[in-house]
């Protein structure tokens, strides 16, 4: 991987002077010794915690509209996620300190997550030192463990945790990836999900993923069309690019997944993603043994986009239920959870490829995880998404150099994109 001389020199200087190690240790070990951080920044306090559902792109259109189904067996009944499903229900947390530092963090859960933040989590953050990032994560998680170990609560936490890391980076004058330990690279190959693969290859792309949905409820015609589209993509792109699939399956079965994998075997897929429900961890372990790298398989099994915290990922790792883990850093518990998940994955000798790893929120974990080989492109379609995306050059996602997450978000932009204004 390429890296810039200025970034490497700056990283070496920080390490040599000890500032880099001290800052990384301060954020990473605050739960062990919170008093040390309080002594370092006795005046830094959180003064305001807000969160807003935002309009991200066309996915948010009609989010709150009541659906109209055509009978009890309408296939949409199995797939309509409602107003709180992860991506369409994006939220932005805005945390302000008494020293004028504002942190922004993306999460999800829409108005329900905002209610959790307003009624519960904000009270744990107000007047606290925002640099105690991991201690605050532990306090928030523990306070909600009897009702929020997964789902909405953790998505709400993700927004706050990311905003705290943004504050820590801005306070230190360093990008978040430097606070996480830095990396001996400043870019990662991008992988493109859907779109025009030939055009993407011409722009320098080397990794592509085709998605479908429906699981076992796919019609034969839809399944055949999907299989053909993947095989045609392989023919068009040639043998040297990495090609992947994502089935976005909520209720797939092991036998259905194995059958589909056999049909797609000529495509020489790098991984197959979300073949089963995220709750079917034993089924995923069986897939790893039957078609993945543990057996006489021909692809890798990827999952984790819809898993939560290091505890959920530890189950996947211990059961051997995935070969590629895909946390989304705006859903799984934020950057603190991502750091801990990355350590679990590394210790197990597995691969981590964060969902939307090319976004501002996903890239620090992607960059600092040695096993990560690709960063997924962030969905396009609005000014606010562009503000939360890393730059791309010739098929590579480039690390930001600005403090914090390096977004160009402003409070005015967040307010302008509030979902309530778009209803």
Q: Is the CA virtual torsion 276, 279, 282, 284 positive or negative?
A: positive
**Residue 119 vs residues 46, 248, 373: alpha-carbon distances, Å:** 16, 33, 40
Query: Would you say 406 and 175 are in contact if contact means Cβ atoms under 8 Å apart?
Result: yes
355 is catalytic: yes
Q: Between the CA of residue 301 and those of 23, 68, 210, 265, 331, what are the distances in Å?
A: 36, 36, 15, 13, 21
Catalytic residue among 171, 177, 306, 355: 355
Of 179, 174, 178, 144, nearest to 158 by C-alpha is 144
DSSP 254-299: HHHHHHHHHHHGGG--S-EE--S-TT-HHHHHHHHHHTSTTTT-SS
Listing DSSP states for 317-341 in one string gives HHHT--SEE---TTTSSHHHHHHHH
What's the gap between Cα 393 and its chain centre?
21
Q: 173 by DSSP, 3-state: which?
A: coil
List the catalytic residues: 355
């Amino acid at each position: 991987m390429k890296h810039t001389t200025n970034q490497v020199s700056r990283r070496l200087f920080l390490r040599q002077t000890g500032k880099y190690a001290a800052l990384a240790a301060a954020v990473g070990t605050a739960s062990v010794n919170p008093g040390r951080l309080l002594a370092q920044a006795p005046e830094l306090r959180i003064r305001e915690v807000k969160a807003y559902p935002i309009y991200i792109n066309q996915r948010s259109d009609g989010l709150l509209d009541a659906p109209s189904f055509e009978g009890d067996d309408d296939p949409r009944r199995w797939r309509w996620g409602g107003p709180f499903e992860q991506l369409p229900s994006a939220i932005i947390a805005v945390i302000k300190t008494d020293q004028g530092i504002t942190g922004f963090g993306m999460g999800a859960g829409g108005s329900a997550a905002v209610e959790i933040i307003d009624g519960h989590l904000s009270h744990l953050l107000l007047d606290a030192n925002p640099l105690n990032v991991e201690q605050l994560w532990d306090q928030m998680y523990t306070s909600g463990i009897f009702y929020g170990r997964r789902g909405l609560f953790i998505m709400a936490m993700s927004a706050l945790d990311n905003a705290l890391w943004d504050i820590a980076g801005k306070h230190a004058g360093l990008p978040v990836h430097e606070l996480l330990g830095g990396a001996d690279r400043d870019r990662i190959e991008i992988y493109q999900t859907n779109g025009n693969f030939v055009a993407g290859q011409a722009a320098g792309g080397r990794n592509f993923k085709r998605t479908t949905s429906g699981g076992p409820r796919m019609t034969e015609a839809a399944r055949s069309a999907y299989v053909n589209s993947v095989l045609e993509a392989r023919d068009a792109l040639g043998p040297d690019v990495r090609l992947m699939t994502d089935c976005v399956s909520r209720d797939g079965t092991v036998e259905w997944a194995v059958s589909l994998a056999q049909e797609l075997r000529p495509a020489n897929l790098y991984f197959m993603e979300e073949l089963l429900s995220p709750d079917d961890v034993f089924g995923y372990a069986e897939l790893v043994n039957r078609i993945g790298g543990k057996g006489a398989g021909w692809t890798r099994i990827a999952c984790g986009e819809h898993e939560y915290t290091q505890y959920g990922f530890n189950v996947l790792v211990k059961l051997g239920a995935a070969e590629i883990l895909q946390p989304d850093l705006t859903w799984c518990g934020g950057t603190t959870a991502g750091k801990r998940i990355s350590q679990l994955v590394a210790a197990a000798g597995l691969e981590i490829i964060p969902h939307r790893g090319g976004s501002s929120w996903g890239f620090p974990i992607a960059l600092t995880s040695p096993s990560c080989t690709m960063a997924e492109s962030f969905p396009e379609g609005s000014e606010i998404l562009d503000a939360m995306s890393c730059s791309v050059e010739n098929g590579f996602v480039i690390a930001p150099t600005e403090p914090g997450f390096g977004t160009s978000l402003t409070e005015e932009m967040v307010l302008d994109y509030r979902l309530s204004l778009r209803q």
